[in-house]
């Protein structure tokens, strides 16, 4: 039974999350010759203030209008 765990930043709509899970299921079914009913997808959302690049949280980078990791 294939299991995929995906980490994303919070903020996507339920429709976007459904699309991610469908797309991953379809990709695993094709690439692993697995039945979609046997595939499990775990989607975890990370709050943007719980992740940083170069010591600056994604939330702070976005608030400042700077892409994460750029000076």
Residue 69 binned pLDDT confidence (cut-offs 50, 70, 90): low
Q: Quick: pLDDT tens for 3-53.
A: 999 999 999 999 999 999 999 999 999 999 999 999 999 999 999 999 999
Q: Is the pTM of this model over 0.95?
A: no
Tokens of 55: 């010591």
Selected catalytic residue, list 2, 36, 47, 67: 2
CA 29-34-38 angle, to 5 degrees, is: 100
- pLDDT reported for residue 38: 97
- CATH class of the domain comprising 3-64: alpha beta
> Which residue matches tokens 């469908």?
22
| Torsion angle defined by CA atoms of residues 13, 24, 6 and 17, in that order, rounded to the nearest 10 degrees | 10
Sequence spans of domains, the chain: 3-64
Residue 67 annotated in active site: no
């Amino acid at each position: 039974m294939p299991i995929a765990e995906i980490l994303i930043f919070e903020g996507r709509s339920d429709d976007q999350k459904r699309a991610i899970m469908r797309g991953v299921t379809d990709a695993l079914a094709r690439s692993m010759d697995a039945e979609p009913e046997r595939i499990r997808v775990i989607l975890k959302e990370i709050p943007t203030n719980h992740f940083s690049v170069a010591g600056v949280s994604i939330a702070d980078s976005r608030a400042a209008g700077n892409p994460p990791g750029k000076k």
